[in-house]
Amino acid sequence: MRKTIVQVKTGILLTFYTIALISTAAAAPSGGFLAVMNESGNNSDSRLAITFFDVDEFDQGPLFSVFIGYERPGNRRELSAIEADPVTGDIYIVGFDSGTPGAVDNLGTPAELTDDDSSGDYDLYKIDFASLYGNWETNYKGKDVRALGLVDPLSPAPTGSKGAANTDYVTYAPTTVSSTITFTHEATHSNAVTLASSVVKIGEINRNQNPDAAPFWQADLEFVDSQTLFILDDSNEATANDNAANDHAYRMIKRVSTSPGLATSNNDVGGYNNTTTQSWESSRAGLVNLDTVAGVPTGHSEPQDSAFYTDPVTGVRGAWVMERDGGGDDVAFFQVTPAGAGVGYRPFSTGETAFALDNDPFVDATTNDGFGDKIFVDQDSGDLIMIESSFGDPTPGEVGVIRREVLSYDNGSGQIEFGAWSPKVILNPVKDPASEAGVFFERGYFSSYDSVNDKVYFYEPGNSPDFEMEVYVLDLATGLTTSFLNVDDSVSLFTTATSATHGDKGAFFSIGAVATDDADFDNDNDVDGNDFLIWQRGFSVGNNNATGDADGNGVVDGADLAVWKSQFGAAAAAAVGSVPEPATLAMGTLGCLALAAARRRR
């Protein structure tokens, strides 16, 4: 597997310019970051906003936030899910849009079409984090933005942890949020900065049509690549009447074009084109259907969370899904083709297609008493990382993290083969004040996994004025918990009707990480002529490491040959020249020493 290497943050002294300029000298952000979405709640400064944190400096408070807000007066965006490109930090946000599928709402100026929106779909938004970070670093970082008049003077000053400790904290928004605004909610966002490109609506995508009025299904969004997303969608029937044919769906979301106006829809699959900057479409890859009787789906699945993964060794791709059924929550892997078509649940070497989660399977894997809240995949190993909550336990306690080793996503028989369970790692925060010792962070849904450093970030909703610990960091390698107090004055986060099961979400990403290229395609611990032959056979048709993809981008091309050359050695690079026939290659490389491919492998 490719090992991800984290580059250390650089301390660069920058020259600041006026607010109207974005200096090209601003250094790119480096390190790990956490984006937390507040879908609703009563805290106006955080509501309908994405707040960003530096994971190495939680105690310094948030960096800045981006207000998503409204499409127009009275048309609030119903945020449902968030996900990040784990390398670039691009943030994707899905907003639920009610109404008749495909109908143009025409709620703006009747004669003006530019503010009209298609209803009955998901609106897809994107935040370019790197650009925003550069803007913040150049114009605001290290400054008292209010004293210097760098923000809207009519917007309120930050309070709580966003106050004196964060004099450079700002809230970006695509439109003016206080000076000429008529919405009292928007006018309460602190240190408002108008930046049209802070968040962009890139597409409108079809979704399943569930007639339940409330609560809106809190969809789960997963990043696949820069042109593909995955979403765990609602059912296509009222929850009370859900059946196998209309169960919750797996959907693939694909970018059709970087230009607007090219999406098409049949009101079930596809997408729309109103007020979008790009064209995206969605298609149903399959149904969850994890509730069965005698192997026959009965419908009304209760999916809790998902995690998309593409195995670079075997090319197997799909989504792990965790379904909540009140005990021993089921975990399965739904496979899709490279084109995004559903294959179905991939079987395990145990003969099953799903397993029931236990409270602590390392101790006893037969109890089926686990209460799963979140599921992640370790991108370095392919192992499962599951957040198990104490919510259903007779005696409440803190949440724990369970790892299940995955030896192979294809054991040669088309099966996933598991290894050992690891001991459950329990969250152990320091309570402040001490009287809160009996108050537990029972649910693990409000968490994000750092696959680079093997850490889990739990963000605390804030249950009372005293219980102020809002971020816990659990190091899975050491078992140690670090607690950060009052890092955001979002004490009313997660107070929506759906907070008990879903609520607001977060996404971890790491910028400046470098993936180790791997040209040992036959996995024999050397890079030689046999690996070149694999690359040659896979050229333009392969899509994974086993077929010649050395740089892990899902395509076998000349860039992978360049990696092979660099890892084989100078003599081999000179010998292959313009890609000789296999016989010529064998003669030219005879006697050359192969470089050992240093990387982590399952």
| DSSP string across 336-399 | E-TTS-EEEEPPBTTS-SEEE--S-TTT-TT-----EEEEEE-TTT--EEEEE-STTSSS----
In a domain, 130, yes or no: no
Residue linked to tokens 């090219």: 262
412 Cβ neighbours under 8 A, 6+ residues apart: none
In a domain, 559, yes or no: yes
In a domain, 25, yes or no: no
Res 110: pLDDT:
57
Start-to-end Cα distance in the chain = 7
Query: Residue 433: is its pLDDT beyond 80?
Result: no
In a domain, 573, yes or no: yes
Collapsing DSSP states into helix, strand and coil, what is residue 111? coil
- From the list 534, 547, 521, the residue with the least C-alpha distance to 601 is 521
More confident residue, 487 or 504: 487
2-6, 150-154, 365-369: range with lowest mean pLDDT: 2-6
Query: Residue 498: is its pLDDT beyond 60?
Result: no
Q: Answer positive or negative: Cα dihedral of 150, 155, 159, 161.
A: negative
127-136, 326-335, 354-363, 487-496: range with lowest mean pLDDT: 487-496
* pLDDT tens for each residue of 96-116: 888 888 888 776 555 556 567
Res 321: pLDDT:
96
CA atoms within 13 A on the CB side of 392: 17
258 Cβ neighbours under 8 A, 6+ residues apart: 278
72-76, 123-127, 598-602: range with lowest mean pLDDT: 598-602
339 Cβ neighbours under 8 A, 6+ residues apart: none
More confident residue, 51 or 2: 51
Please give the helix or strand (H or E) that residue 131 lies within, else none.
helix 129-139
Query: Residue 62: is its pLDDT beyond 80?
Result: yes
- From the list 280, 226, 220, 224, the residue with the least C-alpha distance to 250 is 220
- Considering the chain, what percentage of its residues have pLDDT values greater than 70? 78
In a domain, 565, yes or no: yes
Res 216: pLDDT:
64
The token pair that represents 60 in the structure block: 């310094």
More confident residue, 146 or 587: 146
176-185, 414-423, 438-447: range with lowest mean pLDDT: 176-185
More confident residue, 408 or 506: 408
Dihedral (Cα; 384, 462, 41, 504), 10-degree rounding: -10
The token pair that represents 519 in the structure block: 């040209």
Report the DSSP pairing between strands 4-5 and 514-515.
antiparallel
More confident residue, 580 or 175: 175
558 Cβ neighbours under 8 A, 6+ residues apart: none
Domain span including residue 527: 521-589
The token pair that represents 330 in the structure block: 């089921």
Which stretch, 2-11, 27-36, 110-119, 247-256, has highest mean pLDDT?
247-256
Query: Residue 88: is its pLDDT beyond 60?
Result: yes
* pLDDT tens for each residue of 473-482: 999 999 999 9
Which stretch, 115-119, 373-377, 527-531, has highest mean pLDDT?
373-377
Please answer whether residues 459 and 36 qualify as being in contact, where contact means their C-beta atoms are separated by less than 8 angstroms. Answer: yes
579: left (phi over 0), alpha (psi -120 to 50) or beta: left
Average pLDDT over residues 576-589: 40
The tally of domains found in the chain comes to 1
Q: What is the pTM of this model?
A: 0.81
How many helices, marked H, and strands, marked E, lie in the chain? 5, 35
Query: Residue 162: is its pLDDT beyond 50?
Result: yes
Res 578: pLDDT:
42
Query: Residue 279: is its pLDDT beyond 60?
Result: yes
Angstrom distance (rounded) from CA 591 to CA 594: 9
Angstrom distance (rounded) from CA 97 to CA 307: 24
Angstrom distance (rounded) from CA 460 to CA 472: 8
Cα 71 versus chain centre, distance:
24
What is the rounded average pLDDT for all residues in the chain?
A: 80
In a domain, 555, yes or no: yes
Please answer whether residues 584 and 554 qualify as being in contact, where contact means their C-beta atoms are separated by less than 8 angstroms. Answer: no
Please answer whether residues 53 and 4 qualify as being in contact, where contact means their C-beta atoms are separated by less than 8 angstroms. Answer: no
The token pair that represents 133 in the structure block: 């970070």
Angstrom distance (rounded) from CA 595 to CA 219: 46
| Rg of the chain in Å (alpha carbons) | 25
Query: Residue 35: is its pLDDT beyond 90?
Result: yes
What does the buried/exposed string (b/e) look like for 487-501 if buried means 16 or more CB atoms within 10 Å of the residue's CB?
Answer: bbbbbbbbbbebbee
The token pair that represents 393 in the structure block: 């336990």
141 Cβ neighbours under 8 A, 6+ residues apart: 14, 168
Please answer whether residues 387 and 444 qualify as being in contact, where contact means their C-beta atoms are separated by less than 8 angstroms. Answer: yes
Cα 331 versus chain centre, distance:
19
- From the list 62, 79, 54, 73, the residue with the least C-alpha distance to 494 is 79
**Interhelix angle for 529-538 vs 558-568, to 10°?**
180
In DSSP terms, 121 is beta-bridged to 97
Angstrom distance (rounded) from CA 192 to CA 204: 27
Res 599: pLDDT:
31
In a domain, 298, yes or no: no
Report the DSSP pairing between strands 192-194 and 171-173.
parallel
Residue 509 main-chain phi, psi, to 5 deg: -150, 155
In a domain, 527, yes or no: yes
